Chain A
Amino acid sequence: MTDPAQNIEGMLCPLPLPHSERIVLGHGSGGRMSYELISKVFFPLFDNPILMTGDDAGLITVLNQAGEHNPRLAVSTDSHVVSPLFFPGGDIGRLAICGTVNDISMLGATPLWLTAGFILEEGLEVDTLRKIVESMQSAAVEANIKIIAGDTKVVQYGKADGLYINTTGIGIIPTGVNISGTNARPGDAIIVSGTIGDHGIAVLAARGELNFQAEIKSDVAPLNGLIARMLDVTKEIHALRDPTRGGLATSLNEIALQSNVGIMIYEETIPIRPSVEAACEMLGFDALYVANEGKLIAIVENKFADKVLAAMKDHPLGTDAAIIGTIAERPGPHVMLKTTFGTTRMIDMMSGEMLPRIC
């Protein structure tokens, strides 16, 4: 046998792959690739101060007869593409209502009206569509909003995954409420409204591709009721975000970037359902990056944190709420996690698509 050491070549490397020429699924993951796509393609051309704030919804004002900018409105739009259309705990219809209601609510607005655009695939059963629309209506009642306009288009068989739904919503921001991802300040407490990762793991299990079954329900729910309860306690809620695609880790990174602050979270305080944790362990996922559809992160003035937390725990959508960290003094933007051993690690945005590990 020849000496293996003779064969060591040293420098070898592949070429970089920026994926800047063609869209890949990672661009829709809600993580860094999505962020880069938006920053490079959309922001430079649509550039305006409302959009560039980078919140879940745009804030616009109406100049009234008294010459005041009142009311202030929150407007947001969201397209919903999910496979399968029905999953434990919800369906694409409920998701389409809650997704937009929640985006508007993240500015502290009271959502009032939604529009709905449907892209239907040829061959979709009308019964299926009816079930989805019924689910939308029941979610609309739950969220106390009305669907006031709509649109329907049909595309050829094979051109859509059953149906896609876009919803756009409008809400009114109450006087004295000033919530934005840009408002996080050193010393603020970080609260999460409940267990993380439920939606992502429920949909993954329902998809059946990974031959993996779990009794996990999606958390998809409208959060405006919970937020109203929190605002009853104090208006000193500085930022809100619903950690959907990209999960808790990506949302915290967005806030760190928007407010240019450091964030420190504490591993043992983050609520995770044992079944979600087990599924993540098995598949090699990190629950911090798994999607939620009925959870929020609140950045709250520290002296009100306990009261806000107590109010959240009184609400059915906040029973597992917990304070998970603080906005740090150290300059940002970055997100750090303190482990149970007292060590520190960085929490990055999600990179591209979440992929299961090999072994």
Chain B
Amino acid sequence: MKYLNEYRDSNLVLGMIDEITRTIRQKWVIMEICGGQTHSIMKYGLDQLLPESIELVHGPGCPVCVTSLEMIDKALAIASQPEVIFTSYGDMLRVPGSQGDLFSVRASGNDVRVVYSSLDAIKIAQDNPDKKIVFFAIGFETTAPANAMSVLQAQKLGLNNFSLLVSQVRVPPAMHAILGSPNNRIQGFLAAGHVCTVMGYWEYVPIAQKYKIPIVVTGFEPVDILQGLLFAIRELEENKIDVENAYSRVVNYEGNQAAQKIIERVFEECDQKWRGIGNIPKSGWRLKTEFNGYNAEEQFQVSEITPIESQLCISGEILQGLIKPVDCPAFANQCTPEHPLGATMVSSEGACAAYYRYGRNL
């Protein structure tokens, strides 16, 4: 496929592996932020090609994994109401709440639909004026513009049967949380290319300066990932700490300003609880109060929910890159994609799921 095969070219990949091997002299621990990058690394077996002195740890950049249990429970409660058509990105249907998941809610006769975009949910709202359509607006900076746009669109169309259940998260505060942790081992970051497409990379400059750590904006194809790693390792070996862009065919410094304006228009910063990690200050976005009419938490009485977490899973440590999925005693035993104990095994972007799918038995 044009514009993809070029970045999967085996000569290029093997050439970059050579260059990384020639450049590296010490051991380095590098975290790829995004679950999409984790999956590429595992799918293409890039970790098998890299020198052993690079340790890749997998970051919290999986929107499904980090959506808090309270929010999943709220989604289940809202989706269970007879007048509701609950719409969601497909992956969220699998995530277990305290009791059941959206698949179970659908199997009990409720209307739960997979959509590919929040704007598809708007169309469903137009077609079903006698129903209440709720869209589960989860995700990082990547989904925020389209999710915000759906509110403006609903307003423009005068829809009064559409609302968002919002659980938006932001990458930079999570990086602060990881780097500020006393257990931190991370020496360099591959920043998430799609997030930077929207936000640019100006937000990362103060982080790189404060923690003296290289941050490289990185794409998702094998060549992209290796280029990001090469940049990060060069910086580390030469001790020139900076924010660099290894995904310049898509990302620029300022980002997509039109998208950022839409986010600012609709959302405001808030503290956010991350599943497996805990509360991170100012790490989320919520709807501004002027949009309360489109806020599902305001429209439905779901505030009195106390979630019940299991204690077997260590997804918290995995999301912070403290341990690897294969080091978890439950991995591939009690915990599989069919019977996930933790969110990192549930989502197709989760680190445990990536190890389970591509790396088991190797």
Report the bound CA distance from A343 to B40 in whole Å: 13
Q: Is the CB of A24 within 8 A of B106?
A: yes
Answer yes or no: B206 CB below 8 A from chain A CBs.
no
Cβ contact of B315, chosen from A12, A15, A340, cutoff 8 A: A12
Residues from chain A with a CB closer than 8 A to the CB of B82 are none
Q: Decide if B43 touches A345 in the complex (CB within 8 Å).
A: yes
Q: Which residue of B lies closest to A23 (CB)?
A: B107
* Residues of the B chain whose Cβ atoms lie less than 8 Å from the Cβ of A348: 356-357, 360
Contact at A340–B140, with CB atoms within 8 Å? no
**One of A4, A10, A355 near B180 (C-beta < 8 A):** A4
Q: Are B310 and A15 in contact (CB under 8 A)?
A: yes
**Cβ contact within 8 Å between A11 and B91:** no
Contact B114 A343, beta carbon cutoff 8 Å: no
A359 touches B63 (CB 8 A): yes
Which residues of A sit under 8 angstroms from B103, Cβ to Cβ?
Answer: 19, 24-26, 352-353
Residues in A1-30 with C-beta less than 8 Å from chain B = 1-5, 7-19, 22-26
Distance between Cα atoms of A154 and B43 in the complex (Å): 48
B203 CB-CB contact with A under 8 Å: no
Given A352-B338, A357-B349: A8 in contact with B116 (beta carbons within 8 A)? no
Find out whether the CB atom of A16 lies under 8 angstroms from the CB atom of B106: no
> Which residue of chain B has the shortest Cβ distance to A354 in the bound complex?
B90
- A295 within 8 A of partner (CB): no
Determine the chain A residues whose CB is within 8 A of the CB of B132 once the complex forms: none
A interface residue count range (under 10 / 10 to 19 / 20 to 34 / 35 or more): 35 or more
Hey, which chain A residues are within 8 Å of B43, CB to CB?
A: 345
A312-346 residues with Cβ-Cβ distance < 8 A to B are 334, 339-346
User: B92 — nearest CB in chain A belongs to which residue?
Assistant: A358
| Residues A341 and B281 in contact, CB atoms below 8 Å apart | no
Instruction: Please judge, given known A-B contacts A16-B339, A24-B104, whether A345 and B359 are in contact too, CB under 8 Å.
Output: yes
Interface residues in B, total, Cβ within 8 A: 91
Q: Are B44 and A344 closer than 8 Å at their CB atoms?
A: no
Q: Which residues of B contact A1 (CB under 8 A)?
A: 281-282
Cα distance A14–B95 in the bound complex, in angstroms? 9
Nearest CB of B to A278, in Å: 5
Chain B residues contacting A8 (CB-CB under 8 Å) are 177, 181, 277-278, 316, 320
Q: Given A211-B120, A346-B362, is A341 in contact with B13 using a C-beta cutoff of 8 Å? A: yes
Asked if residues A11 and B64 are in contact (CB atoms below 8 Å), the reply is no
Known contacts A14-B96, A25-B103; A355 and B315 CB within 8 A of each other: no
Q: Determine the distance from Cα of A358 to Cα of B137 in the docked complex, in whole angstroms.
A: 11
Task: Encode A243-280 as 1/0 by CB contact (under 8 A) with B.
Answer: 00000000000000000000000000000001001100
Known A-B contacts: A19-B103, A341-B44, A344-B45. Give 13 more (CB < 8 A): A4-B180, A7-B177, A7-B279, A7-B280, A13-B315, A18-B339, A19-B104, A24-B103, A343-B48, A344-B362, A345-B43, A348-B360, A358-B349
Cβ contacts A to B, 23 pairs, < 8 Å? A5-B180, A7-B177, A7-B279, A12-B315, A14-B340, A14-B341, A15-B308, A15-B341, A25-B103, A36-B338, A339-B44, A339-B45, A341-B10, A341-B46, A343-B45, A343-B46, A346-B360, A346-B361, A348-B357, A351-B337, A355-B91, A356-B90, A358-B64
Chain B residues proximal to chain A, CB less than 8 Å:
1, 4, 8, 10, 13-14, 36, 42-46, 48-49, 63-64, 69, 72, 89-91, 93-101, 103-104, 106-108, 113-117, 120, 138-140, 142-143, 173, 176-177, 180-182, 194, 222, 275-282, 308-317, 320, 334-335, 337-343, 348-349, 356-362
**9 nearest CB pairs, A to B:** A343-B45, A13-B313, A355-B90, A9-B278, A5-B180, A4-B177, A359-B142, A345-B358, A17-B96
